[in-house]
Each structure stands twice: as structure tokens, then as C-alpha cells.
């Protein structure tokens, strides 16, 4: 029988593993980033970590297919999302492997896998930050070009263009479209 300290270490390591796997699951991250779960999408993703842990602790000898069904149901219920990209089976298998390794005391393998997942997540975050920075600079360039074009348009003629004729139909912000005269 495992000592309480060993069980606590095993649960803590499995919890880290679940968190790492879910943090690297693109389908879940897209659902969170786009608010598929409503205003509390991030909190739901964090809750999922504990729910998955509890599912493994409460059920004996889970198969990846069972975990797959559990995750699919959670994604559907919490994020109104149906996962059809094949990632459910990958995530389920990884979780089952982590749980099995933790139960067998193979903590080094789990810690190594968690470190790889953390590095992968860090790389993805770095790529996303660079893409966002590039997008921000291109929109700044477009804005600057637009301002330059506006200035070019205004300098072409010696006089500013006359104001549009006042029409009582335009006063309330609506434009009256009339039939063209022949």
C-alpha cells in the first residue's frame, strides 16, 4: 500500500501532467481564446483540470476511449464545441499514459514529458506573440499609408472641394435615393 506522502506526490504530478496536456490542446485553447464557453471560458478550462483528475481517481483502469468520450462530453457541454480533428484520442492517450506512469512511480518520465509540453507551449506562445506584433506593425503601416494618401489628395487642388449641397433629406442622417431623371 502506498504511503499518504507518495499518493500526494503522485496526485500532484498527475495534476501537473493534466494541466500541461490540456494547456497544449489546440482545440481547448481555441475554445478558450474565442470565448466558446462564454465569459468564464478560462475558468472552465481550469476547472477541467480538476474534473479530469477526479475522473481518473474515481474510475479504475480507464481506457483511452472512455477518456475520449468524457472529454468530448465536457467540450460539448462547457464550450458548445464538437471535436472532430482527431486530437481527442491523442489527448486521451497522453492522459492515460501519465496516469499509468504516475501509478507505477515512473515520475521521471512524467516530469520529462511535462517539461517537453511546457517548452512546446512556450514556443507556441512566442510564435503567437511575434505574429501579433507583426500584425500590429502592418496595421500601423497601413494607417500611415492611408494618412499619406489623404494628404496627397488634399494637396492636389488649390482649393478645397466645395461642401456638399445641403438637402433637407440629409439632415437626419438618412440619404434619400431618387429615381434618375431621363
Q: Which of 77-91, 120-134, 162-176 has the lowest mean pLDDT?
A: 162-176
Instruction: Return the SS3 of 1.
Output: coil
Domain membership flag for residue 129: no
Domain membership flag for residue 172: no
How far apart are the C-alpha atoms of 131 and 143, rounded to whole Å?
18
Domain membership flag for residue 32: yes
Domain membership flag for residue 58: yes
Most confident of 58-67, 123-132, 138-147: 58-67
How confident is the model at residue 171, as a pLDDT?
58
Residue 170 CB neighbour total at 10 angstroms: 12
Domain membership flag for residue 99: yes
String of DSSP letters for 61-114: S--HHHHHHHHHHHHHHHH-----SSHHHHHHHHHHHHHHHHHHT-HHHHHHHH
Cβ pair 28, 45 in contact under 8 A: yes
Domain membership flag for residue 148: no
Residue 133: pLDDT above 90? no
> Whose CA is closest to 18, among 48, 40, 42?
48
How far apart are the C-alpha atoms of 165 and 163, rounded to whole Å?
6
How far apart are the C-alpha atoms of 12 and 98, rounded to whole Å?
12
Domain residues for the domain of 30 are: 7-116
What's the domain count of the chain? Answer: 1
Under the banding of pLDDT at 50, 70 and 90, the label for residue 181 is: confident
Domain membership flag for residue 64: yes
Those residues whose C-beta lies under 8 Å from the C-beta of residue 1, and which sit 6 or more positions away, are: none
Residue 55: pLDDT above 90? yes
Those residues whose C-beta lies under 8 Å from the C-beta of residue 16, and which sit 6 or more positions away, are: 114
Domain membership flag for residue 42: yes
Residue 164: pLDDT above 60? no
Query: Is the pTM value of this prediction over 0.75?
Result: no
Amino acid at each position: 500500500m502506498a504511503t499518504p506522502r507518495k499518493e500526494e506526490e503522485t496526485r500532484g504530478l498527475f495534476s501537473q501532467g493534466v494541466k500541461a496536456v490540456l494547456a497544449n490542446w489546440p482545440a481547448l485553447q481555441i475554445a478558450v481564446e474565442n470565448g466558446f464557453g462564454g465569459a468564464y471560458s478560462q475558468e472552465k478550462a481550469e476547472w477541467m483540470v480538476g474534473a479530469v483528475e477526479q475522473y481518473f481517481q474515481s474510475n479504475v483502469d480507464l481506457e483511452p476511449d472512455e477518456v475520449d468520450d468524457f472529454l468530448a462530453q465536457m467540450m460539448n457541454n462547457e464550450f458548445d464545441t464538437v471535436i472532430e480533428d482527431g486530437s481527442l484520442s491523442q489527448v486521451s492517450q497522453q492522459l492515460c499514459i501519465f496516469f499509468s506512469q504516475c501509478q507505477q512511480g515512473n515520475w521521471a518520465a512524467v516530469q520529462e514529458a511535462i517539461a517537453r509540453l511546457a517548452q512546446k507551449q512556450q514556443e507556441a506562445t512566442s510564435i503567437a506573440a511575434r505574429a501579433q506584433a507583426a500584425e500590429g506593425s502592418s496595421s500601423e503601416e497601413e494607417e500611415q499609408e492611408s494618412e499619406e494618401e489623404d494628404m496627397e489628395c488634399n494637396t492636389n487642388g488649390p482649393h478645397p472641394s466645395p461642401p456638399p449641397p445641403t438637402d433637407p433629406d440629409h439632415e437626419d442622417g438618412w440619404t434619400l435615393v431618387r429615381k434618375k431623371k431621363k
